[in-house]
């Protein structure tokens, strides 16, 4: 299906302008994407940053899914992290040296958190998919809109903030959980992803730099635990890994 101006009529004004400015009109709606990123990550505001590279594949239509593989470096040693959310089960597995598991997080908190992450991925990297009926909207003002996303039994929401150039600049949700360092316990915390530096990939304009922030209580307070740059993104990728329609 090709995105038309008629599809934007059902969206709140700031979202319609954002989807339009992304270059979506006249192109097919996005069924999936594959992205490569790099950046740095840490557990807490006083912890050492670890550099990482990441690869992810998302589906956007039907039952959205997400596979996200990170390879980080901790004190000179490689650490592999795999986020997997397919069907109704999400997990996060951490393996130093690719040999043994130190974190295996899963359960209802992971399912809810990864549902928020899928919503975030689509808002940031696949705005054309926001015309799908899986998303519902509540207008706040001319630069702010609340989006709600339902996936299986999970319903999550976020506030989207736009600038005067119709770019999404922040995504804020209270529906995500922060895991402990061993993945055994979870604490619900506000989560946000301020983004900037837009450019075009195959005619689709998306952000290329962002942060992920926890809004914790004192003494931590608000802090960025992830900084990332989008290196490459391909849309409507076939089963062989070749990009079509880009």
pLDDT tens for residues 89-139? 999 999 988 778 889 999 999 999 999 999 999 999 999 999 999 999 999
Predicted pLDDT at 97: 82
Average pLDDT over residues 51-63: 94
Give yes or no for residue 34 having a pLDDT over 50. Answer: yes
Predicted pLDDT at 14: 98
Q: Give start and end residues of each alpha helix (H) in the chain.
A: 5-8, 13-21, 108-125
Average pLDDT over residues 65-72: 96
Predicted pLDDT at 241: 46
Q: What is the dihedral of CA 2, 237, 70, 186, to 10 degrees?
A: 50
- Number of Cβ within 10 Å of residue 47's Cβ equals 12
Domains of the chain: 5-235 (2.50.20)
User: In angstroms, what CA-CA distances link 222 with 47, 192, 229?
Assistant: 14, 10, 21
The residue among 59, 77, 73, 52 whose CA lies nearest residue 129 is 59
What is the band of 74 on the pLDDT scale with cuts at 50, 70, 90?
confident
Predicted pLDDT at 242: 41
The residue among 171, 54, 69 whose CA lies nearest residue 119 is 171
Average pLDDT over residues 192-211: 97
Average pLDDT over residues 27-38: 96
Enter the pTM of the model. Answer: 0.94
Predicted pLDDT at 151: 93
Instruction: Share the mean pLDDT of the chain.
Output: 93
Give yes or no for residue 156 having a pLDDT over 90. Answer: yes
And the tokens for 120?
């975030």
- Number of Cβ within 10 Å of residue 135's Cβ equals 18
């Amino acid at each position: 299906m090709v995105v038309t101006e008629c599809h934007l009529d059902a969206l709140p004004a700031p979202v319609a302008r954002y989807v339009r400015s992304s270059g979506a009109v006249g192109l097919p709606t996005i069924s999936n994407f594959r992205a490569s990123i790099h950046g740095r990550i840490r557990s807490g505001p006083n912890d050492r940053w670890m550099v990482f590279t990441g690869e992810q594949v998302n589906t956007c239509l039907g039952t959205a899914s997400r596979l996200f593989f990170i390879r980080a470096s901790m004190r000179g040693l490689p650490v592999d992290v795999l986020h997997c959310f397919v069907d109704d089960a999400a997990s996060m597995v951490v393996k130093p040296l690719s040999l043994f598991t130190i974190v295996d997080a899963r359960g209802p908190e992971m399912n809810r958190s990864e549902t928020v992450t899928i919503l975030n991925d689509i808002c940031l990297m696949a705005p054309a998919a926001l015309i799908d009926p899986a998303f519902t909207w509540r207008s706040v003002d001319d630069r702010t809109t609340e989006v709600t996303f339902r996936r299986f039994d999970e319903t999550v929401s976020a506030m989207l903030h736009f600038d005067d150039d119709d770019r999404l600049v922040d995504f804020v949700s209270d529906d995500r959980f922060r895991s402990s360092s061993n993945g055994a316990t979870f604490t619900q915390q506000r989560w946000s992803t301020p983004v900037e530096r837009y450019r075009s990939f195959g005619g689709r304009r998306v952000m290329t730099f962002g942060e992920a922030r926890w809004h914790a209580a004192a003494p931590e307070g608000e802090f960025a635990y992830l900084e990332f740059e989008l290196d490459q993104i391909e849309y409507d990728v076939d089963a062989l890994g070749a990009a079509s329609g880009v």
